[in-house]
């Protein structure tokens, strides 16, 4: 959320930064509503002051034993109270309009972000690893015989499209990938593992920027809970409404959870296989940082995600997103895209973002430099470390053999009783 005090002081700066994201100038409307709200608040304070004066006057006259027209005082007090109620209703109305703008404005991009409208303007930073060469035509993940444990037919019967049932060896491989990721993050990257709920209150979704703009992309229960689209929601909200001592920062956490997305805006995209699902598993990283450290924490978090891919020996490329492709809450984002031989494409497997104080303002998540210091807003960062299902896809496609087997990456063997292959029947051997 944008700082209203900063908008009052530098309105043109807001318009200039948001123009880089193709957002029309909006500062004049914000300032108009803000001025109207502050004027109404002042009016309430003035009427309340008059009401207090009436009450004191009544008390003094009564204590002094002077003649009182009680009915007249009651009428005056009632009028003032009704006036306050009317003004407070006006404040609520104006506040709703102002919040309706502020809560739907995306974060301002950093100055070094490339300007562009679509992913075509994203900037490739580097590539890692060599794309494997095959003596045969590589298949997509759902065509590899070893992946016969992917059951789309039964899952469709039970739940509909974009769900997958995993069974036998591939289910075990999927679980091993998840456990390997979490173990690496907590043992090598010094992240603290957290187990979080997948059902959250509306305020939690609002705090991280999923609401109100992207309500159609998530699932809401009848009693008002929301299913998390990513553990970023539950992890980041750990600091909602809190003040953290500076010496406890940066604080780095991770969680593996089920995630749920309606994919409302992706009709017709990736409908075959398990690349884009309504329910999937993801390891999420979140960092709470003082403002002066968040830039280096972003680079650190990206390296954590890259280390997972490097240990799995999966070729990938690192992309800096342009202004038009940035997520709603992000000020700077790197995507990691893994090579999928079956598609002959790099596909996103991790997105790592610095949100600055944007989410912290929405959640009122603050830190204190010194015990006597005034609290300031944290910087929050989040990133996939990694999407488990997409990682499984990448392993299947990059490690497939001409016989239909899938070779097990060395770093996963300890999690799979030293199995070396997922065989043609979908069993570990």
Render pLDDT for 120-154 as a digit per residue (tens, 0 to 9): 999 999 999 999 999 999 999 999 999 999 999 99
Note the pTM of the prediction, 2 decimals: 0.92
**Residue 89 Cα to chain centre, angstroms:** 33
Question: What's the pLDDT score for residue 279?
Answer: 96
CATH assignment, 119-422: 3.30.930.10
Which ranges in the chain are annotated with CATH 1.10.287.40?
A: 4-102
365's CB contacts (< 8 A; 6+ apart) are: 236, 239, 240, 241, 242, 244, 288, 359, 377, 378, 380
Which ranges in the chain are annotated with CATH 3.30.930.10?
A: 119-422
Question: What's the pLDDT score for residue 60?
Answer: 73
pLDDT tens, position by position, 226-269: 999 999 999 999 999 999 999 999 999 999 999 999 976 556 67
Pick the CATH number of 4-102 from 1.10.3450.40, 3.40.50.150, 1.10.287.40, 3.40.50.720: 1.10.287.40
305 closest CA partner among 275, 349, 256: 349
DSSP assignment of 132-168? ---SS-PPPGGGSGGGTTEEHHHHHHHH-SS--EE-T
| 193 DSSP β-pair partners | 254
pLDDT tens, position by position, 224-233: 999 999 999 9
In residues, how long is the chain?
429
- 8 Å CB contact between 374 and 107: no
Distance CA(142)–CA(162), nearest Å, equals 13
């Amino acid at each position: 959320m944008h700082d209203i005090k900063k908008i009052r002081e530098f309105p043109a700066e807001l318009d200039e930064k948001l123009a880089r994201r193709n957002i029309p100038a909006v500062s004049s409307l914000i300032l108009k509503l803000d001025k109207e709200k502050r004027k109404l608040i002042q009016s309430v304070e003035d009427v309340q002051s008059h009401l207090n004066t009436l009450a004191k006057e009544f008390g003094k006259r009564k204590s002094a034993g002077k003649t009182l027209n009680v009915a007249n005082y009651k009428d005056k007090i009632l009028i003032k109270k009704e006036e306050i109620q009317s003004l407070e209703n006006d404040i609520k109305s104006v506040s709703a309009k102002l919040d309706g703008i502020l809560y739907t404005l995306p974060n301002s991009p950093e100055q070094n972000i490339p300007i562009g409208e679509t992913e075509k303007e994203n900037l490739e930073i580097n590539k890692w690893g060599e794309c494997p060469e095959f003596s045969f035509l590589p298949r997509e993940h759902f065509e590899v015989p070893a992946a016969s444990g992917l059951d789309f037919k039964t899952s469709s019967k039970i739940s509909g499209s974009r769900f997958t049932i995993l069974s036998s060896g591939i289910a075990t491989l999927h679980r091993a990938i998840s456990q390997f990721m979490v173990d690496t993050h907590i043992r090598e990257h010094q992240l603290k593992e957290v187990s979080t709920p997948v059902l959250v209150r509306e305020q939690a979704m609002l705090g991280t920027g999923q609401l109100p703009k992207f309500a159609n992309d998530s699932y809401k229960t009848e009693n008002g809970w929301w299913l998390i689209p990513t553990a970023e929601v539950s992890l980041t909200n750990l600091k909602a409404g809190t003040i953290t001592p500076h010496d406890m920062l940066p604080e780095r956490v991770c969680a593996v959870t089920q995630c749920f997305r309606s994919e409302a805006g992706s009709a017709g995209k990736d409908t075959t296989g398990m690349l884009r699902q309504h329910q999937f598993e993801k390891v999420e990283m979140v960092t709470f940082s003082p403002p002066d450290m968040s830039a280096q924490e972003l680079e650190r978090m990206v390296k954590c995600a890259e280390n997972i891919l490097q240990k799995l020996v999966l070729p990938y490329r690192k992309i800096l997103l342009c202004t038009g492709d940035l997520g709603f809450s992000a000020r700077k984002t790197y995507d990691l895209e893994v090579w999928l031989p079956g598609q002959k494409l790099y596909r996103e497997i991790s997105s790592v973002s610095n949100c600055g104080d944007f989410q912290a303002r929405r959640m009122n998540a603050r830190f204190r430099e010194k015990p006597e210091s005034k609290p300031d807003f944290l910087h929050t960062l989040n990133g996939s470390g990694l999407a488990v299902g997409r990682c499984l896809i990448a392993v299947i496609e990059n490690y497939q053999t001409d016989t239909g087997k899938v070779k097990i990456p060395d770093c996963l063997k300890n999690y799979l009783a030293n199995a070396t292959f997922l065989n043609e029947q979908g069993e570990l051997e």
